[in-house]
Amino acid sequence: MIQLKKIDFLFFGYVFITSILLFFSWNTIDKSLELFLTRGLLLGLGILLIYFDSKTKNTLINLLRNCYPILFSMLLYTETVFYNKLFFNNLDQYLIDLDFQLFGFQPSIKFSEHFSQPFFSELMYLGYFSLYILIISFVFISYIKLKKDSEELFFKLAASMLLFYLFFCFFPAAGPQFYFESPKKELPTAFVFDKIMHLIQKAEQPTGAFPSSHVGISLIILVLFRKRVSNYFKIAFPFVILLILSTVYIKAHYAVDAIAGIISVPIVLFISNLLYKKIPDFKL
């Protein structure tokens, strides 16, 4: 018997909604056909995982089946750039103006200018990179240590990610690293993690600056684990602080993006909890 779980309906629903946005953006982008084919591939992979999990008792397949929308998240994030101009053009200038009104200067420029020492820069790059460590560790700890709650945890993390991405579709902002010209967008050098982050940034797109999903997702992981895995919370907390600072330091976000990322956490979690309660499981 094949069981469709809450996370499957979440993923299929997101693909359906964003495919409509992609369809109406068809004439404005050159990669529409490629994007639709990619979506078909992702849907196919998801369906295959659902099917094979029902036919086997393989632990790896079961893990992938229960969290595949999280695995697809990076691609789903970057593709928002292709259909997020349906309603507005990039709103970066408004965010820059708001930063200046709040601080009297541009934090995304001045932060790295005033603290350009290689050791400090290395900490900032490590902080930004730590999101990927947080997500991977969240998946494995949830599946191994919190088996009973793992499906709920996977759903809420995936729902949080997709809710951020949906917002980016309607509120386009590229972020300082794409919006500013050189030398304003240049960054200090460090030792190791600057090279790693530069490689990762090459795969990124000018999208999803406001609010910072890096900040929001990292805090949501902390909230979900705060009572369940207290030691994880204590270890991860300082890295999340570094991550929040780093989003501005490496010019991935404006300061208001990071602030909005923090403010968005209870809202996104509330909607994720509501979706988890309302979406049913379904057996075929």
Calculate the average pLDDT of the chain. Answer: 93
| Class of residue 30 by CB neighbours under 10 A (exposed 0-12, middle 13-18, buried 19+) | exposed
Contact 250, 125 (CB under 8 A): yes
Parent domain of 29: 3-283
Q: What is the number of domains present in the chain?
A: 1
The pLDDT value given to residue 29: 57
Tell me the CA distances in angstroms from 5 to 49, 66, 261, one per residue in order. 12, 8, 28
Helices 150-170 and 213-225, axial angle in degrees (round to 10): 160
Task: Give tens-digit pLDDT for 108-145.
Answer: 999 999 999 999 999 999 999 999 999 999 999 999 99
Task: Give tens-digit pLDDT for 53-62.
Answer: 999 989 999 9
Low-confidence winner among 30-44, 82-96, 241-255 (lowest mean pLDDT): 30-44
Task: Give tens-digit pLDDT for 180-201.
Answer: 999 999 999 999 999 998 888 7
Q: Say if residue 28's pLDDT is above 70.
A: no
Residue 283, strand partner residues: 3
Token pair 């999101």 is found at 131
